[in-house]
Structures are given as C-alpha cells and as structure tokens.
C-alpha cells in the first residue's frame, strides 16, 4: 500500500498513483498529496493502475478532493482502473462527476 505523486514536465498535470488498497488508511496521506497543489493547474489524474481494492471511504476522499480543488483545477481524471474498480465507480455514479478511463 503506497501513494506517490508527480507533476508533468509542463507543470499542468498532477498525478497521484495509488498502489494496493485505497481505503481509510489513506485519508491523511491522500489529503496531503492534493493539498500540495499551489495555484491553478489543468488536470489532476488519480492513477489506479496498481489499486486492488477500493472502499466507500476512498469514494469520499475523491469527492473531498473534488470539492477542495474546485475552481483551481479544470479537470479531474480517474485513470487505469481495473474492471472491479471501474464497476464500483460506475455503480456509485462517479462517471457523472469525474472523467474515468
């Protein structure tokens, strides 16, 4: 279980990569990750390529991030979801709130 962050070369895309379980244990670390964004950027990407599990607290964390970054970020993407994670996001109607690929 780990979280890493990076900016694109042009500084307009901020990526948060989550490995393992995306659950309550990540609350503080996840909040700290997106809180480091200063000023306006184009896109925040939450990369779930290595995420094996997601619970309701992870959904809440995504909503809190969206609310916190509102007005400072043009787009929030959730990318590289495994089929079971994508299904959770679709059932929760997150495909209406986020760009999911």
Q: What is the domain extent for residue 80?
A: 2-100
Q: State how far the alpha carbon of 59 is from the alpha carbons of 9, 23, 46, 55, 101, in Å.
A: 29, 9, 12, 7, 16
**Alpha carbons 40 and 59: distance in angstroms, whole number:** 24
**Alpha carbons 65 and 84: distance in angstroms, whole number:** 22
Instruction: Please report which confidence band the pLDDT of residue 36 belongs to, taking 50, 70 and 90 as the band edges.
Output: confident
- Coil, helix or strand at residue 30: helix
pLDDT digits (tens, 9 = 90+) for 1-24: 799 999 999 989 999 999 999 999
Please report, for the domain that includes residue 23, its CATH number. 3.30.750.24
Domain count, the chain: 1
pLDDT at 21: 95
């Amino acid at each position: 279980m780990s979280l890493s962050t990076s900016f694109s070369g042009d500084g307009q895309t901020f990526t948060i990569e989550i490995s393992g379980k995306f659950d309550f244990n990540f609350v503080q670390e996840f909040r700290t990750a997106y809180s480091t964004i200063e000023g306006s950027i184009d896109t925040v990407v939450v990369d779930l390529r290595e995420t094996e599990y997601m619970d309701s607290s992870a959904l809440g964390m995504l909503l809190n991030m969206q609310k916190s970054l509102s007005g400072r970020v043009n787009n929030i993407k959730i990318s590289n979801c495994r089929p079971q994670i994508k299904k959770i996001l679709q059932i929760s109607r997150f495909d209406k709130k986020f760009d999911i690929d």
